[in-house]
Amino acid sequence: MPADKFSFLITRPDFDDTTAYCLAWSGQLINEANDRGFAILDLRKEKATLEEFEGRMKLPAVIFVMLNGHGTLFTVEGDKGSMLLEYGKNEHLTKGKIIFARSRYSLEKLGGSCAQSGALGYVGYSRPFFFVLDSAQGAHPLNDELAKPCFIASNLVALSIIKGQAISEAVRKSREESEKLKAHWQTRPEIEAPLVASFISWNSNCLDFCGSPEAKLQY
Amino acid sequence: MPISDDEAKITLERLRYMPNTIRISIGGYGTFTRDQLINEVNNRSEIGATIIETQMSYVRSFKPKV
C-alpha cells in the first residue's frame, strides 16, 4: 500500500487521571498504526487544542481519527476542556474519515451529525466510559490490572479499524472480547473483580456506531 | 427512569464491599473514591444515578432469559 499517503490522527490530552490513562493506553494503537505504515499525527497533552486539531483534520491524508477526552452529547474535548469537535460547528471536517471517540455521551448527537456530514463512520459511547483504578498503581496506568480489561476492550475497536476491518466488525469484536473479559473477571479472586466485570459490561453495552456498518479504511 | 430504594441499597452494598483504596473513573465526571461514590448514591445525584444504573444493569444481566 502507499502507506505514507495515509495518516492516523490521535488526540491525547493529559490533565487528570482519566486522560492520563487514555494517553498511556493509546500507545499500543500508535505502535500498531505505525507498524502498518500510517503517518502518526499525535496531538498529545497541551497540543490537543482546537487550532491544532482543525489544522490536521483538513488534511485529506487523515483517514482515521481517534479522540481521547471528555465529552458531552454535543462535544468532544481536548486539553483542559478545550472543544475539538462540536455539534453544529465543525463536523464537516470529519467528511471521508472514520472517527473513534473514547469519550462519554458523544455517540448519538455528535456522532449522528458527523455521519450526516459525510464521515464514513463514527464509533463511540452513548454513556460514560468507566474503569477502576488501583490507587497503588496510580503513576503507572499500563501496570494497572484493574483498569486493563476496560482498555483492552476499547482499544480493540481502534486496532480492528487500523487493520482495515469494517466499523461494525470492530464493534462486534470489542463486544465479543468484553464478554470474555467479563466472564474472566467474574471468576477472579480480587475483591474489586465484581466491579471491574460490571464496568466491562457497561462500556460494551454503551459502545456503538453511526454511519454505514461496512465503513472501513480504504488503503 | 426513577431509582427505587432497593436499587440504591443493592448498589450501596456492592460499593461498601469494595476496599476504601479503590478509585473509579467515570468519563468526564472525574475520578471518585468508594466513599465519594457512596455519598453520590445516597444523595441520588446524577453521578449516583449513573453508578446505580451500571450496577443494576449488571445484576439484571444474570436474570435468566425466558
pLDDT 10s digits, A121-137: 999 999 999 999 997 76
Quick one: pLDDT band at residue A138, thresholds 50, 70, 90? Answer: low
CATH number for position A7: 3.40.50.1460
Asked whether residue A218 is assigned to any structural domain, the reply reads no
User: What ipTM goes with this model?
Assistant: 0.94
A-B C-beta contacts closer than 8 Å: 83
pLDDT 10s digits, A35-81: 999 999 999 999 999 999 999 999 999 999 999 999 999 999 999 98
Could you tell me whether strands B22-26 and B30-33 are parallel, antiparallel, or unpaired per DSSP bridges? antiparallel
pLDDT 10s digits, A176-201: 999 999 999 999 999 999 999 999 99
Query: Does the structure show a pLDDT above 70 at B66?
Result: no
Residue A112 is predicted with a pLDDT of: 96
SS3 A66: strand
Residue A216 is predicted with a pLDDT of: 97
User: Among residues A127, A202, A82, A106, which one has the least CA distance to residue B46?
Assistant: A127
**Residues in A touching B31 (Cβ below 8 Å):** 16-18, 133
Residue A87 is predicted with a pLDDT of: 97
CA pseudo-torsion sign A159, A85, A147, A175:
negative
pLDDT 10s digits, B11-58: 999 999 999 888 999 988 999 999 999 999 999 999 999 999 999 999
* Residue in A21, A191, A202 nearest the CB of B25: A21
Asked whether residue A117 is assigned to any structural domain, the reply reads yes
Share of chain A above pLDDT 90, in %: 92
Rounded CA separation B22/A178 (Å): 22
Q: Is B62 on the interface with A (CB under 8 A)?
A: no
Q: Hey, are the CB atoms on B31 and A135 less than 8 Å from each other?
A: no
Quick one: pLDDT band at residue A4, thresholds 50, 70, 90? Answer: low
Q: How many domains does chain A have?
A: 1
Domain range enclosing A29 = 3-211
Asked whether residue A217 is assigned to any structural domain, the reply reads no
Per-residue pLDDT, averaged over A87-97, amounts to 97
Query: Does the structure show a pLDDT above 60 at A2?
Result: no
**Residues in A touching B21 (Cβ below 8 Å):** 134-136
Residue B62 is predicted with a pLDDT of: 87
Residue A139 is predicted with a pLDDT of: 66
Mark which residues 99-118 of A lie under 8 Å from B by CB: 103-105
Mark which residues 16-55 of A lie under 8 Å from B by CB: 16-18, 21
Asked whether residue A197 is assigned to any structural domain, the reply reads yes
Asked whether residue A89 is assigned to any structural domain, the reply reads yes
Q: A25-32 contacts: CB < 8 A, separation 24 or more? A: A25/A141, A25/A142, A25/A147, A25/A151, A25/A154, A25/A155, A26/A66, A26/A68, A26/A155, A27/A142, A28/A155, A28/A159, A29/A66, A29/A155, A29/A158, A29/A159, A29/A162, A32/A159, A32/A162, A32/A163
Residue A75: its H or E element: strand A75-77
Measure A6 CA to nearest chain B CA, in Å. 30
